Amino acid sequence: MKIFPKPLEKGDKIAIISPAGSVEPTQLEKGIEMIKSKGYEPVLGENLYTKFSNGYNYAGTEVQRLKDMNWALNDPEISAIWASRGGYGCQHLIEGLNLKEFTKNPKWYIGYSDNTVIQSYLLKKGFASIHGQTIKTSSFGVTEESYDLLFDILKGKKRKYSLKSNQFNMQGNIEGELIGGNLALVYALLGTKYSFDFKDKILFIEDIGENFYALDRMIMSLELAGVFKKISGLIIGGMTNMGDEKENKQYEESFDEFAYKLISDRISKYKFPTVFGFPNGHIKDNQPLIIGGDISLKIDKTVSVNFK
């Protein structure tokens, strides 16, 4: 049975932590002020702005990042946890996560990109999370609506989305549990005990900055792992800056047509309903999804994705 955290109330505390890449204070100023303007109290993790370089600029050592994560998960005064950014590093923490107090007081975990690792872990334990915009905005920015919709979920509202049709869509109606997130991390967790349970689920994937052959490799790994035989539906979000950027300037849009064609060709033998172009991922209009949420998916001349 999945557990959904209780809605937030004005004055509740939201922990902000950096579980992966490092951030500068100036990169979070707007996000922190936004949380305050919505009536909540941001509480900064001890190592939010810590830096540790070890082949990558992490937000502290593994010990420091894990300390902040377990504090945020288990402090009874914290009502939600919001990742400052993604990057790389969440896999370092996964075996040290402690949910002892979290299980008594479940709270929303918010993030995307590398945070897919944490969200997969939480769902394995039965807890839903929010795949949505981090506090740090990327170079392509983020819309106000994306944040507003995220706060709607924190208040307990159910989201409904209507989309235009896409040439690669596969029609059909399906209901089921939504799983997934960043494709590179879904792929990286394959074969581990932390991987998503794909059976009869609706899988969401998005990615950024992958060469087309690397995208194909990941899709082929899902194929060889039997993922596409297990899922009941597929939703594809942003595919941003894909391919060799120097040679494929025409493919730098958020919903890369060639990336979509590559995925479409690979799954063409399957008959599950498929949506391309959902507004979530490394894109400006990053509208939130609930990982672990039950949705109804209807794909015809238009597309509806409704959380139940």
Condensed to tens digits (0 to 9), the pLDDT of residues 256-308 reads 999 999 999 999 999 999 999 999 999 999 999 999 999 999 999 999 999 99
Condensed to tens digits (0 to 9), the pLDDT of residues 146-204 reads 999 999 999 999 999 999 999 999 999 999 999 999 999 999 999 999 999 999 999 99
- What's the pLDDT score for residue 152? 97
160-307 homologous superfamily: LD-carboxypeptidase A C-terminal domain-like (3.50.30.60)
- Give the pair of three-digit tokens for residue 189: 């967790």
Mean pLDDT rounded to a whole number for the chain: 95
Average confidence (pLDDT) over 81-85: 98
| CA triple 39-153-285, angle to 5 deg | 95
- What's the pLDDT score for residue 245? 56
pLDDT surpasses 60 at 246: no
- What's the pLDDT score for residue 251? 45
Condensed to tens digits (0 to 9), the pLDDT of residues 20-66 reads 999 999 999 999 999 999 999 999 999 999 999 999 999 999 999 99
CA 222 – CA 236 distance, rounded (Å) = 14
Q: Which contacts of 49-54 are long-range, i.e. CB under 8 A and separated by 24 or more positions? A: 49/18, 49/22, 49/23, 49/24, 49/25, 50/18, 50/22, 51/22, 52/22
Answer whether 119's CB lies under 8 Å from 91's CB: no
- What's the pLDDT score for residue 244? 73
Q: Which residues contact 5 (CB under 8 A, 6 or more apart)?
A: 79, 80, 106, 107, 108, 127, 128
CA 46 – CA 71 distance, rounded (Å) = 9
Q: In terms of residues, how long is the chain? A: 308
CA 84 – CA 104 distance, rounded (Å) = 25
Q: Which residues belong to CATH 3.40.50.10740 in the chain?
A: 13-154
The model's pTM: 0.96
13-154 homologous superfamily: Murein tetrapeptidase LD-carboxypeptidase, N-terminal domain (3.40.50.10740)
Q: Which residues belong to CATH 3.50.30.60 in the chain?
A: 160-307
Average confidence (pLDDT) over 132-157: 92
